C-alpha cells in the first residue's frame, strides 16, 4: 500500500485563545487535512534524508523537466492543469511547495504524488480528485471554526492607525518607536492596532488570493524602567510560516531586503521603496517552505538586526538562500537595525548599497561548483571539445579542441608545421569553429593559397576554371587573418586580437 504524508496549507487561519509565554511566543491550535487512510498517513517526523543529486536523478528518470533555481528546483506542478504554475523542491531538504494550490510536503510525498498520477492515468491531480481524497475529522473541523472565529474577533476589533484619535495614534507610535512611519506605509502593509491591549497587529496573508492566514500581535509591557516587546502568534509558529509584506511584493521585483522584525520592514520600505519582507520567527529560523517565495529575487540583502546573533543568522541564512545572490549588513554603530537607522536620520539606501557580499569574490566553495561539475560529467563529450575528423590519433592525445587551452607545435624549419596547422585549422573551420590566423613569417596571400589548395584537394593552378567555385566555398568558412607580418610590438598584437575577438 502506498502511504503518503502530503498536507495542505489552508487559506483560512486556525486560531485558539493564546497565553503569553515568558519569551514572547504564545501557542495556538492548528489542524491539518490529510488524504484518506489508504493514501495518506499522518505526517511522520522520521523523514529519510535526500540529496539534490538523488532528486535530479529521479526527475530525469521520470522525464520531468526542471530548472535549477537558487535554492529550489522548479518543476511543473502535478496539482494544477496549468504547467506554467510551478512546484518548488528545496535542494537541501527535498520538501516541496506548490504556490498555486498551496500543497506542501516531503520528498517522499512528491514521489507518492507522481505514483498516484500514474495510477490515476491523469496528467495532473485535479481539484475534484484532491477533494475526494481530503477529509476533516469532526474535531479538526471544530478546531478550525474556533480558530477562524478567534482570528476574526481580533482583526475586526482592531482599528486602522489613521482611524485613531490623533493623540492616541501618537502614543501608540511612540510606544513602538514608529513615530516616523507614516499611516500610508502602515495601511499598505495592513498594520492595525488592537486597542484593548494597545498592541500592533501584523497580518499574514495567503500569497495566492491575499485572504488572511494569521496574525502576529506585538505588545509593549513595562517592567520598572524597561519596556519589553512580546509577540503573540496565531497559529503557533511550530506549524505555521509566512512572510510579512508578501502582498506588497511585485511579481517582477528582482531585489528584496529581508528583516527579522515587521517594524524594520516598514522602515526599509518607507525609506527606500525596495521590496522588503520580515521572517515570521525572526533570527531563530528561516523555514524551508518560505524559500520558493524568494526564488524570483536576483539580489537579497539580509538586514536582521544590530547584534552578533543577527550577524551569525545572516551568514547562516545566506547559505540557505544561495550566497551568490546575498549581501549582508554587518551590525555596528553606523549600521544599526533599519528602524533605528530611520529614527536616527541615516540614509538607508546608502547602507543597503554598502552591504557586504556573502561570498568573497576570490574564494569559492565546492557547493557553488557542484552543479557545474555535474554538468561537465553529464556532458562529457561536449566538455572534451570539438573532435578532428581528419586526425583520430590527435583526438586520443588532446581529446579535441577545447576552449581555454593552448597547444604548442614545435619543429625545425621546413618540417611541415604550417602545412599541418593549416589542415588542423581547416578541419575545425568546416565544423563551424571560429579561427584567427596570426602568421608573422608567411604572408596572408601565400597562407590562404596553401589552405585553399588543401581545402579543395585540387591543383587549382592547373584548373583555374574551378577557382571561383572553390573560393566561394572557402569564403564561407569562419576563418580570419591578422594583417601583421614580421617583427611587431606585442601590445599592438594583443590589442588587435582583443578587438578581433569581439567582432568575430
- pLDDT per residue over 123-164, tens digit each? 788 655 554 554 555 565 666 677 677 878 889 999 999 999
pLDDT of residue 261: 95
Closest residue by Cα to residue 246 from 102, 460, 55, 113: 102
- What is the tens place of the pLDDT at every residue in 203-241? 988 777 777 788 889 998 887 778 888 888 877 654 556
pLDDT value at 287 more than 80: yes
Distance between CA atoms of residues 144 and 137, nearest Å? 11
pLDDT value at 104 more than 50: yes
Q: Which residues contact 497 (CB under 8 A, 6 or more apart)?
A: 436, 438, 482
pLDDT of residue 146: 73
387-414 average pLDDT score: 81
pLDDT of residue 188: 94
pTM of the model: 0.63
Distance between CA atoms of residues 41 and 12, nearest Å? 23
Report the share of the chain in percent with pLDDT over 90.
30
Closest residue by Cα to residue 232 from 249, 215, 208: 215
Distance between CA atoms of residues 239 and 134, nearest Å? 19
Q: Which residue has the higher pLDDT, 486 or 81?
A: 81
pLDDT value at 319 more than 80: yes
**Which of 25-34, 208-217, 322-331, 495-504 has the weakest average pLDDT?**
25-34
pLDDT of residue 254: 93
> Cα-flanking dihedrals φ and ψ of residue 285, to 5°?
-165, 145
pLDDT of residue 168: 92
Rounded mean pLDDT of the chain? 78
Structure-derived torsion over alpha carbons of residues 195, 198, 199, 205, reported in degrees to the nearest 10: 20
CA distances from 391 to 76, 388, 421, 434 (A): 45, 5, 12, 19
Q: Which residue has the higher pLDDT, 184 or 375?
A: 184
Distance between CA atoms of residues 427 and 421, nearest Å? 10
7-14 average pLDDT score: 36
Q: DSSP letter for 43, please.
A: P
167-172 average pLDDT score: 93
- What is the tens place of the pLDDT at every residue in 30-61? 333 333 333 333 333 445 678 888 999 999 99
pLDDT value at 437 more than 60: yes
pLDDT value at 399 more than 50: yes
pLDDT value at 277 more than 80: yes
pLDDT value at 356 more than 50: yes
pLDDT value at 14 more than 60: no
Distance between CA atoms of residues 476 and 429, nearest Å? 10
Distance between CA atoms of residues 30 and 213, nearest Å? 12
pLDDT of residue 502: 30
Q: Which residue has the higher pLDDT, 45 or 357?
A: 357
333-347 average pLDDT score: 92
**Domains of the chain by range and CATH?**
34-135 (3.90.580), 152-357 (3.40.1360.10), 409-503 (no CATH)
Distance between CA atoms of residues 279 and 304, nearest Å? 9
pLDDT of residue 342: 96
- Under the banding of pLDDT at 50, 70 and 90, the label for residue 194 is very high
- What is the tens place of the pLDDT at every residue in 478-494? 888 877 665 666 666 55
pLDDT value at 282 more than 50: yes
pLDDT of residue 112: 86
- What is the tens place of the pLDDT at every residue in 240-254? 568 899 888 888 899
Report the share of the chain in percent with pLDDT over 70.
76
Closest residue by Cα to residue 446 from 481, 478, 479: 481
Amino acid at each position: 500500500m502506498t502511504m503518503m504524508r502530503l498536507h495542505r496549507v489552508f487559506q483560512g487561519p486556525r486560531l485558539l485563545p493564546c497565553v503569553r509565554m515568558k519569551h514572547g511566543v504564545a501557542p495556538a491550535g492548528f489542524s491539518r487535512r490529510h488524504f484518506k487512510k489508504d493514501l495518506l498517513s499522518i505526517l511522520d517526523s522520521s523523514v529519510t534524508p535526500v540529496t539534490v543529486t538523488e532528486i535530479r536523478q529521479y526527475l530525469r528518470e521520470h522525464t520531468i523537466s526542471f530548472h535549477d533555481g537558487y535554492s529550489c528546483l522548479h518543476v511543473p506542478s502535478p496539482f494544477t492543469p496549468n504547467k506554467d504554475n510551478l512546484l518548488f523542491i528545496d535542494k537541501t531538504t527535498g520538501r516541496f511547495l506548490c504556490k498555486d494550490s498551496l500543497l506542501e510536503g516531503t520528498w517522499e510525498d512528491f514521489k507518492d504524488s507522481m505514483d498516484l498520477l500514474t495510477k490515476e492515468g491523469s496528467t495532473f491531480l485535479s481539484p475534484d480528485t484532491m477533494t475526494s481524497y481530503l477529509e476533516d475529522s469532526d474535531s479538526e473541523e471544530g478546531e478550525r471554526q474556533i480558530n477562524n472565529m478567534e482570528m476574526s474577533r481580533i482583526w475586526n476589533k482592531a482599528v486602522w492607525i489613521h482611524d485613531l484619535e490623533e493623540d492616541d495614534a501618537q502614543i501608540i507610535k511612540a510606544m513602538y518607536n514608529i513615530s516616523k512611519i507614516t499611516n500610508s506605509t502602515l495601511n499598505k502593509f495592513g498594520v492595525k492596532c488592537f486597542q484593548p491591549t494597545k498592541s500592533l497587529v501584523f497580518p499574514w496573508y495567503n500569497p495566492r488570493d491575499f485572504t488572511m492566514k494569521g496574525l502576529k500581535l506585538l505588545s509593549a509591557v513595562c517592567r520598572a524602567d524597561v519596556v519589553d516587546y512580546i509577540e503573540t502568534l496565531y497559529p503557533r509558529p511550530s506549524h505555521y510560516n509566512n512572510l510579512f509584506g508578501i502582498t506588497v511584493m511585485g511579481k517582477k521585483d528582482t531585489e528584496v531586503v529581508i528583516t527579522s522584525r515587521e517594524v524594520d520592514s516598514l522602515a526599509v520600505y518607507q525609506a527606500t521603496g525596495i521590496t522588503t519582507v520580515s521572517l515570521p520567527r525572526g533570527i531563530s529560523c528561516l523555514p524551508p517552505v518560505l524559500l520558493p517565495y524568494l526564488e524570483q529575487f536576483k539580489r537579497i540583502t539580509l538586514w536582521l538586526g544590530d547584534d552578533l546573533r543577527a550577524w551569525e543568522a545572516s551568514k547562516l541564512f545566506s547559505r540557505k538562500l544561495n550566497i551568490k545572490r546575498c549581501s549582508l549588513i554587518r551590525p555596528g554603530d553606523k549600521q544599526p537595525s533599519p528602524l533605528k537607522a530611520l529614527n536616527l536620520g541615516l540614509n538607508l539606501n546608502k547602507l543597503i548599497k554598502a552591504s557586504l557580499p556573502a561570498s568573497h569574490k576570490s574564494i569559492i566553495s565546492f557547493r557553488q561548483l557542484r552543479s557545474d561539475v555535474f554538468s561537465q560529467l553529464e556532458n562529457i563529450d561536449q566538455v572534451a571539445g570539438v573532435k578532428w575528423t581528419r586526425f583520430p590519433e590527435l583526438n586520443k592525445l588532446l581529446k579535441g579542441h577545447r576552449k581555454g587551452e593552448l597547444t604548442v607545435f614545435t619543429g625545425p624549419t621546413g618540417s611541415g608545421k604550417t602545412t599541418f596547422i593549416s589542415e588542423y585549422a581547416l578541419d575545425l573551420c568546416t565544423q563551424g569553429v571560429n579561427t584567427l590566423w596570426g602568421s608573422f613569417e608567411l604572408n596572408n596571400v601565400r597562407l590562404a593559397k596553401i589552405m585553399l589548395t588543401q581545402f579543395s584537394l585540387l591543383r587549382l593552378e592547373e584548373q583555374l576554371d574551378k577557382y571561383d567555385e572553390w573560393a566561394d566555398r572557402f569564403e564561407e568558412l569562419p576563418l580570419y587573418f591578422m594583417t601583421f607580418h614580421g617583427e611587431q610590438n606585442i601590445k599592438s598584437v594583443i590589442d588587435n586580437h582583443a578587438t578581433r575577438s569581439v567582432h568575430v
